[in-house]
Each structure stands twice: as C-alpha cells, then as structure tokens.
Structure 1
Amino acid sequence: MQGSPPLSYRFLTALLCAVCLTWSTGAQGQIAALDGRAAANAANERERDYDQLARDVDALERELGIIKRVVKLVTPAVVHIEASPVRGSGQRSDLQEAGSGVIVNISGKPFVLTNRHVIKHSSAPFIRVQFADGNITRPNRIWSDPQTDVAVLRLPDTKLLAARLGNSNRLEIGEQVLAVGSPFGLSQSVTRGIISAKGRYNLDLGDGDVRLQNFLQTDAAINPGNSGGPLINLRGEVVGINTAIASNSGGNEGIGFSIPINAVIRIAKDLTTVGHVNRGFLGVTLDSLFDDRRARSLGLPSLSGTRVKSVEPGSPADRASLKPDDVILLFDGIRVSDMDHLISLVGLTEIGRDIPLVVYRDRRAIELDVKIGDAPEEDALN
C-alpha cells in the first residue's frame, strides 16, 4: 500500500493552486476591465458619431432651408389648370385636360404662362384656373403658339402675385432647379433636380405642330400634370416652363424637358401685343438631303452642319454674303447638327440680333455676321 505524499509536496501543490487561482481571478478582472473600457469607447464613439451627424444635418438643413424659402416664395404664383375640351357643337365635353401654370408679369401686367397642349382643345369659358389658396377663376382671353407649345392666359384679376423671372441663357449644366406643378392633379407639388443638358431638339412630343425646339433637360421629377408649371432656380426665379417627359411608362424616368423662359417671354410678349409671334428669319433654302457623301464632296471630313441650297435676294442671309453650297457649322457659337436644328435656332432668335456664323466654304471655315430678320407673319391661335 502506497503511503501519503510528503508534507512538502502537499504544500507546494496547494501553493501552486492558490497562485493559479489568483492569476485566473486577476486575468478575469483585467479582461473585464478591458471589456468595460471597450464598451465605454464604443459608447463614446457612438456619441461622437451622433454629434457629427447633428452637425451634418445642421449644414443640410441650411441648404434645404434655401429650398424651403424658394418654395415659399414661388408656390403662391403657381396655378392648377383644368380645361374641358369643346365639341364641334360648341358644347363642353365631360373629359378634362389638366396641367399647371405660373403667374408672371409681362410688360407690367400679370398673365399665366402654360403649355398650349394643356388648353388647345378648349376655350376660355371652359378653362378653370385654381390659385394656391384654393380660389378659382376663368381666363377672359387666351393666346397660344403651336410651334413652341406656349400659351398665355389673361385673368380678370389684375392684382396677382407674380413669380420673378430669371435668365435662362445663364443656366449651367449641373445647376440645381425645382419643378413646381400639379402632377396627376396633386397641386403645389415640388421636386428637385439639376439641369442635365441644354439645347435639346427633335423630340417626338406626340404633337407635330411643335417644330421649334430648344429645350432644357432636367432630372427633376416631371409627370403628367406638370405641363405648364415653372422650372425654378435656387434664386426663386422662373427659368423654364415644364413641357414634356421622355418615358416608356408614362411617368417620370428622370428625363424631363422645359422651354427656356427667355424664349417663352419673347413669344408671350408678341402674342399679347400683336397677336402673333415674330419669327427669326435668315432667308435661305436648306438641303434636306444633305448627307455624308455630299459633305465629303464639299471637302468636309464628316457630316456636320447644314448645306445652303439657295439664298433669297435681299434677305438677311444675302446681306451677310451667304452663298449656295455654304455649310453652316456654328450659329451664335452653337454647333449646328442638321437642318431642323438650324431652323429651330433661327426661329427662336430675337428679331434684329446680330449673330456670328461659322460657315464652311471652298474647303475652309470662314466667319460671317448676320442680322436676324422678321419672317413672314404667322397667325397665333386665339
């Protein structure tokens, strides 16, 4: 039978156990302390994140505060329009076209700007204009221009709060804008975006009458019912009239189009003062069959611009020394894409303006200046 371990051995074993227990307890305490500090650090970091978020939100609120101020300034001048089509018998149809409009001052008098397609099937007695405060009135006179889709309404009340006009020529791609209107009948709706592009033309708007196109493109949400409403810059100024969207679904897909306000106001002034629009006029016949083969035969490396077939004697083009077979490459610094593009640019240019041209002639580019004339009168729809 084996005897008990010596006393010294039992003492060392007990001592070793005590040391291990003490080390284990201390380690656990250290781990707990470390865990506590980590939790405290995490909590402090979270608080710092909240503080930074608050600062970021304050900065964003300051930015959004500008938008709120713009909306507060502009929305009282935005109206909702409902137009009942008129049957051939002169009776009102039960169907309604709905859109938007904006009150502006033209020659010191308030008018509502909108799109022709909003009211083109109706007449003044069958058009309702609803103000931001809910009051409703009817126009006592309307004008419209088929080639630009601009319409103007005169209201009985001459003391209306008007929106301020901006300068659409100064807009830059990337500039922030707001669209205000009545999408799907939801009046006073505001969306935000940027100017995505300028000078868009050749758009299929479902209305062959709209031949003169030089649209602003925006990704601010525009939907059915926004037509005729204003596009606003962050200074609270109207810079465009929202007109159309490019969409496969019929709803917003981030591509909307707006008529530049400078063109709208010039058209509106003509309509309300002389009853028709004075179109810019060059006095040339353009080659509708100008193609790559013809361009190369004239010495151009690729198809560009539009070819002049003939020049009307005594016209602005004649006085500027334009000649048959000239290819107009630039109009007022804008690269001319094709015949339709030049027609739009000339037709939308103010009468009497001196416009620089870059023309390709005899295998070299030359510069000419032309003073835009007044095209033969075209009656506006009244």
Structure 2
Amino acid sequence: MVEGASRITVKFHNDPKEYRARLVGAAPPLDVALLKVDAPREKLVPLVLGDSDRIRVGQKAIAMGNPFGLEFTVTQGIVSAIRENPGAIGDESGLVPRVIQTDAAINPGNSGGPLLNSRGEVIGVNTAIFTPTGQFGAAQFAGVGFALPINLVKQYLPDLKAGKTLTAAEIIRSRPRLGVSLIPLSVYPESLRRQYGLPETGLMVQEVERDSPAQRAGLRPPSRFAYIQLPTGETLQVGVDGDVLLKADGVPLTSIAGLRRVLYAKKPGEAVSLEVWRQGRPFTVRVVPQVLR
C-alpha cells in the first residue's frame, strides 16, 4: 500500500481535504505499516483495537475500505471461519499461521482497512480475497475474504512505533521456537509408515539444532532415512526413526501450523507440554520455547 510511495496522504470522512502523512514503521511481510498523519487533533479519533482471540464464528463482521476507489465504503457480513492461513498473506515460513475468514465483501482497495466487530472494535486488518479461479487478490469477490488478526498486529506495534522496518527473518526470530525441523507424517506414504511402525499422525523430527530448547529437552533426530516422491514430482528425504511429536499442550498435531499456534500463544518463559512417540513408546516432555531476540 505504501511501498515505494513518494507522497502519502490521508482523507477523513466528510472532509474533502487531503492531509500529509509519513511512514513511521513497516512490516512488509505482514502487509502492515504505521503512519503519522499531520492533521488537527480533533480529526484524530482512533478506533479501539479489539481482541481477536475472542472472535467467534458467526459473529458480525464489518469491513471498511476504498474498494475500486470508492472511498469510505462499509460492508457487513459474519466471521465465516478462523482457519489456518491458506496462503492469503505471508509465506510458507508461517509468518501468519491463522487468518480470519469473512463473507463481508472485500475487494481491491479494501486491503489495509479495518475489520470490525459489532462494537466497532478492530478485530482484523483486511488483506485478501479468494476468487473462483483459486487466486488471492484478483478483482472478483466470491464471498471469501481474509483478514490479519489484530492481536498479531499488536505484537509488532512497539517495533513499528520505534521506526523499524521488519523483515521476515526478524519476525521469525521474534516468535517462540523449539529449534527443530519437522515433517508431518501425513506426507509419508501409508506403506512407509507401516514398514517402520510409525503413527498415522504427528510431526516427525528431522533435525535438532545444537543448544536449542529441543536438544536440552532430549528430543532426538532420525538416524535412518528414506526417500518419498511428492505430488509435485519432487523427491524428499525424510527420517524414519526420529521422535514424533503427537500433541502440544494436549492439542493433536497434524500440521506444523498447529504446533505454531500453540507456541505463539506462549508467554516468555512459559513451557509447552509435548507428547512424544519414540520407537513405539509414548512419553511427555516439557520444553520452554526460545525467542532469539
């Protein structure tokens, strides 16, 4: 929205004047920027930032923005789902593990606008639409829009206020981590799982970083490997005798995004309880995730 802009202006409702603004901080991988507007104090009436962790499917959702250049447009719908990010924003590294799905009309020009609840609190930042062609961001609304949860944005407000421009690497370093690389067992062919007596679901440890929380907790990487062919035709080397993470804080693990959801909810110094499968033997271990910055 502001990347590469030589001049940024802001307009207020029922006021034809444009006010100059400057970029304070940004997180391009999250499609978020913080602006400071040079406008009279009486114009600056902030919206209340809500709590996106309290969102419930079916509740009212109100989207604001400038679709197709039509200023100050308001559309209404419901929160259709709170789901794993299907690729609407961020990348495969899991910068945005979950998004808010809404049927409130979101079109090109809504990106960056607020998604509100019925109390007028900001619960998300509109970011993308999904079209019948299977594309994100194309110019045809089909009742499936996505918003960045506001609680995720709140995490980075102090950095943005300090004038930082956050890269993907900096965002990842700010997140709690175990220090392991994992592959879901759902990727493994059933014949391979049977051959090595592996569980049907879980996350197989592939590597354990040195001096990481995972190593200190005693998690073990594989010593034997096999090759599998992915649907894309690529060949992937996978471990067959490493530890398998079955649950995190009692939540069954079927995807890496599911583990990230549990980890990202942790406060600094708070441990996560992992149910681990090792060569047919289940056990539980507590690990304190690490934040690199």
TM-score normalised to the size of structure 2? 0.73
Q: How many residues align?
A: 255
- 1:326 counterpart = 2:282: no
Other structure's SS at 2:142 match? coil
Matched, 1:306 2:203: yes
- Name the CA distance, whole Å, in 2 between partners of 1:164 and 1:157: 19
Match of 1:279 among 153, 170, 175: 175
Q: How far did 1:208 drift?
A: 5.2
Equivalent residue for 2:79?
A: 195
Question: Quick check: 1:329–1:359 contact (8 Å CA) kept in 2?
Answer: yes
Unaligned runs of 5+ in 2: 134-138, 222-241
Choose the corresponding residue for 1:369, options 252, 273, 286.
286
Partner of residue 48, structure 2: 164
Give the alignment partner of residue 212 of structure 1, picking from 73, 81, 95.
Answer: 95
- Counterpart Cα distance in 1 of 2:196 and 2:84: 28
Mark the structure with the bigger radius of gyration: 1
Q: Aligned partners of 2:32, 2:270: CA distance in 1, in Å? A: 22
Q: Which residue of 2 aligns with 1:92?
A: none
Residue 12 of structure 2 aligns with which residue?
Answer: 131
Give the helix-richer structure, 1 or 2.
Answer: 1
Q: How does 1:114-153 map onto structure 2 within 5 Å?
A: 118-120=1-3, 122-123=4-5, 125-134=6-15, 135-153=17-35
| Other-structure match for 2:228 | none
Q: Deviations over 1:184-215 (max 9, x none)?
A: 1112211111111113224156x758852221
C-alpha distance in structure 1 between counterparts of 2:193 and 2:28, whole Å: 33
* Cα distance in 1, alignment partners of residues 33 and 80 from structure 2: 25
* Counterparts in 2 of 1:232 and 1:127: CA distance versus 1, 3 Å: same
- Checking the alignment, whether the CA contact within 8 Å between 1:178 and 1:192 is kept in structure 2 is yes
SS at match of 2:29: coil
TM-score (normalizing by structure 1): 0.58
SS of the residue corresponding to residue 280 of structure 1 reads coil
* Cα shift readout 1:143-171 (whole Å, capped 9, x = no counterpart): 22233222222333584211111111111
Aligned CA distance change for structure 1 residues 307 and 301 (closer, same or farther; 3 Å): closer
| Inter-partner Cα distance in structure 1 for 2:118 and 2:80 | 16
Q: Is the 8 A contact 1:185 1:225 kept in 2?
A: yes
Instruction: Note if contact 2:84-2:257 (Cα within 8 Å) is conserved in structure 1.
Output: no
Distance 1:288 1:364, change over 3 A: closer
1:291-302 alignment, distance < 5 Å = 291-293=188-190, 294-297=192-195, 299-302=197-200
How much does 1:341 deviate? 5.7
CA distance in 2, matches of 1:332, 1:158: 49
In structure 2, what residue type is equivalent to 1:369? R
Q: How does 1:74-153 map to 2 (within 5 A)?
A: 118-120=1-3, 122-123=4-5, 125-134=6-15, 135-153=17-35
CA displacement 1:240-280 (0-9 Å, x = unmatched): 11100101372211111111110111022233237244233
Q: Cα RMSD between the aligned structures?
A: 3.2
Letter in 2 for 1:228: G
**Structure 1 partner of 2:105:** 221
Tell me the residue number matched to 2:233. none
1:339 is displaced (CA, Å) by: 3.9
Letter of the 2:175 partner, please give it: R
Deviations 1:96-145 (A, max 9, x none): xxxxxxxxxxxxxxxxxxxxxx222x23x422222224332232234222
Q: Percent identity?
A: 37
Tell me if structure 1 keeps the 8 A contact 2:25–2:163: no
Q: Which residue of 1 aligns with 2:224?
A: none
